[in-house]
Amino acid sequence: MIEKISKTLSESEILRIAIDTGFVIRESKKIRAVDFLKMLLYDQMQYDCPSLQQHAFGLDASFCKKVSKEGLSKRFDNTAVLFIQKIFETYLQHNIGHDSIPTELKKKFKSVRILDSTEFKLSDSLANVFPGYSSASAMACAAIQFEYDIISKEVHSLTLGSANQSDKTYADQRMDNIEEGELLLRDLGYYSVDSYEKIEKRNAFYISRLKSQVKIYEQTKDGYKELSLSALVKRISKQGFFDQTVYIGAKEKKEVRLLAWLLKEDAQKNRLAKKKGKKGKINKNDILWSKLNVFVTNVPAKDLTMQQAYELYKIRWQIELMFKTWKSVLKLNSVRKMKAERLKCYLYAKLLWVLLCWDITALSEQRIWSKTKTLVSLYKCYSLLKNRATEIKDILFNVDKRLKEWLLKMQDYFSIYGLKENKKGRKNIIEILCYH
């Protein structure tokens, strides 16, 4: 990790990026590029949404650089956005190569990749920069796409964009990044029937929910016969579950392994109530679908049982917990009305914080696991790191032996104050991932 930081956050590298992006500030009287970056990173750890006045005070107090609010506002231009975006992307490209916790899943899959997105509303004045939906309640909306390997903790993608780009479009753009032997866990919105075919062509695997409107067929001597939802429910009622090869898509007739079982009555009622709340009216198909959990996969039954496939898919919710941590601890979505260039600088700086905290936590988790067989809590560790932001400010940009000592110190804190707590009666992530 020290090498990764030195490659990205050394003063010489920051200056190089500043020159390449056109973000050049005279070193004598005005703030340097490295001071501007520090300001972006640390003021947002002190204040949820810093004002120009607070920035100006911080620059004066920390670097003895006096600059007016008006002068500082002018520095938030397109070159500033390119500068901080390039810093973020450069750091993202340097993978540390975390030592992963040993797991039986490595015998079956090269990696287990989770992809999801989170959105947050912005001021309507930013609708031309971050277009949202046609709904008047979300004229401007930002979206963060995040994909990582839950085994190695390698980050595959972290991007800032507009909420009006569909998840399916984003997933299609990343098809070439899928490697042989990987297992993909994604929300329903990232898939269509043709997506499954593209993943299989890359010799990779998927576990996915099935969209309710997709037709299901069984192959007979005379061709394909549609398997209705009512027939599926009857079969499950008799045998307890459904796990067999079917064909999906009215045109495609894509061969998949279909996994289905009935939900408990309370879960059925909750799902139907949500559907009614969204649609207003419900039909027979909605009622039948609310009774079922339906998944498709291309992982053979010899490699994953139906229960194992379902538990693996549920791990996808770990990414939702991460998004909540980013928003509650790092205040990723805490924004107010401001010009677009300043907002983009803030968001890329916060995403850089996300990566820094991610690397420190992942590096520590493997070492803590080897000693205690206990995982760490992202929320607790991110909170501890935010609390020590002032220390990081003094150490991060001066890469020397102090950084190594500080990382070991944080590892000790994590092992005491940052451990994950398992809930009783629930299969924990250690068991699901077959850690040993």
Lowest mean pLDDT among 79-88, 100-109, 203-212, 245-254: 100-109
pLDDT score at 286: 83
- Of residues 421 and 327, more confidence is placed in 327
Amino acid identity at 71: G
pLDDT at 206 over 60: yes
Residue 241 in tokens: 């579950």
pLDDT score at 27: 47
pLDDT at 423 over 80: no
Amino acid identity at 420: K
Q: How far apart are CA 37 and CA 58, in angstroms?
A: 12
Report the pLDDT averaged over residues 203-216: 94
**pLDDT band of 268, cuts 50, 70, 90:** confident
For 100-153, the pLDDT digits (tens) are 788 888 889 999 999 999 999 999 899 999 998 765 577 899 999 999 999 989
Q: How far apart are CA 44 and CA 46, in angstroms?
A: 5
Report the pLDDT averaged over residues 148-167: 92
Q: What distances in angstroms separate CA 321 from CA 1, 100, 217, one per listed residue?
A: 24, 20, 36
pLDDT score at 393: 75
**pLDDT band of 379, cuts 50, 70, 90:** very high
pLDDT at 218 over 50: yes
Please spell the DSSP secondary structure of 313-337, one letter per residue.
Answer: HHGGGHHHHHHHHHHHTS-TT---S
Contacts of 172 by beta carbon, 8 Å cutoff, 6+ apart: 195
- β 254-262/292-297 pair status: antiparallel
For 332-372, the pLDDT digits (tens) are 998 888 999 999 999 999 999 999 999 999 989 988 988 98
* Contact status, residue 197 vs residue 252, Cβ threshold 8 Å: yes
pLDDT score at 293: 93
For 24-67, the pLDDT digits (tens) are 765 445 778 988 999 999 998 888 889 999 999 988 888 888 88
pLDDT score at 28: 42
pTM of the model: 0.91
pLDDT at 426 over 90: no
Report the pLDDT averaged over residues 384-392: 87
* Contact status, residue 207 vs residue 182, Cβ threshold 8 Å: no
pLDDT at 262 over 50: yes
* Contact status, residue 179 vs residue 204, Cβ threshold 8 Å: yes
Tell me what percent of the residues of the chain surpass a pLDDT of 90.
56
pLDDT score at 89: 95
- Half-sphere exposure of residue 92: CA atoms within 13 angstroms, side-chain side: 21
Amino acid identity at 229: L
Report the pLDDT averaged over residues 159-166: 92
User: Over the chain, what is the mean pLDDT?
Assistant: 89
Q: How far apart are CA 60 and CA 31, in angstroms?
A: 10
SS3 of residue 435 by DSSP? strand
